[in-house]
Amino acid sequence: MKYFRITYRLIALVFLLISGLVLMAIYGERKESETKNQKYKIIRQGWLRTVISIVGLKITVKGDTKHDQPALWVANHISWLDIPVIGSEGATFLSKSEVRQWPVIGWLGKKSGTVFIKRGGKNASKNASQQIAETIRGGDSVLIFPEGTTSDGTGMKRFHARIFAPAIDHHLPVQPIAIHYFDAQGNTHQNTHWGDESFMRNLMGILGGEAILAELTFLPVVAGSKFSERRRIAEYTEKGINAISRGQPT
């Protein structure tokens, strides 16, 4: 049963990837009008939700379930699954500029609206902050993971304050998000955090396993203009997310 589940889910993912390539070639980056932009967002969210369904995830969204205000989305980071799970709620992704040159992946990122940030060099931080601000003011929320790496779901690493520079510099709203994965017994799921595993090994474990409950909690939006220091807003959002992400499913 396990190997059958892996096989049909892998086949479904391959067909979904092909359909995604076609959809992004047709609709990607089309921002001539707000109507076309919204249409593409809906298509992107629907595609990500299909990915989630195929790999066996069930999502419960709590808190501010509307979250339609463009903002800097900040979340704890557990798994590669965080990206399709949170992205399915409407966020645009952030990536280093080098990824844009990668075969296929770079093209997909560009077409899907990924914000590519150049690291290092003079004014790199200032330019990155400006890019993020322009994206958010243009109507798209941008997702970042302030921990800078993944945790195992039972605790969180300290948030890096520098990631909150756009919120302070440009007075942007910040949307804190807590994510946690549970198994059928309500315990922290053991297969989602990949640790030292390769991506493919982790993917096979998830595809061959039972359904995973992803609980996503949108905390109240925080106004970046109310904070004068990046460390203060980093500590504030970290505390709020940590209190939720270690809780029990409801």
Do 70 and 140 form a contact (C-beta atoms < 8 A)?
yes
Kindly tell me the number of DSSP H helices and DSSP E strands found in the chain: 8, 9
Cβ atoms within 10 A of the Cβ of 217, count?
23
- Would you state the pLDDT for residue 29? 58
Most confident of 48-57, 148-157, 194-203: 48-57
16 or 214, higher pLDDT: 214
- What distance in Å separates the CA atoms of residue 249 and residue 38, rounded to the nearest whole number? 32
Residue 238 pLDDT level (bands cut at 50, 70, 90): very high
Residue 250 pLDDT level (bands cut at 50, 70, 90): very low
- Would you state the pLDDT for residue 143? 92
Q: What predicted TM-score, i.e. pTM, was given to this entire model? A: 0.85
Do 53 and 124 form a contact (C-beta atoms < 8 A)?
no
Q: What confidence tens digit (pLDDT) does each residue in 80-114 have?
A: 889 889 988 988 887 777 766 766 666 666 666 67
| Residue range 56-81: mean pLDDT, rounded | 88
| Residue range 7-33: mean pLDDT, rounded | 76
Over 70: is that where the pLDDT of 122 sits? no
- Kindly list the structural domains of the chain, giving each domain's residue range(s) and its CATH number in brackets, ordered by start: 2-245 (3.40.1130)
- Would you state the pLDDT for residue 193? 76
Q: Which helix (H) or strand (E) segment is 157 a member of? A: none
- What distance in Å separates the CA atoms of residue 75 and residue 40, rounded to the nearest whole number? 24
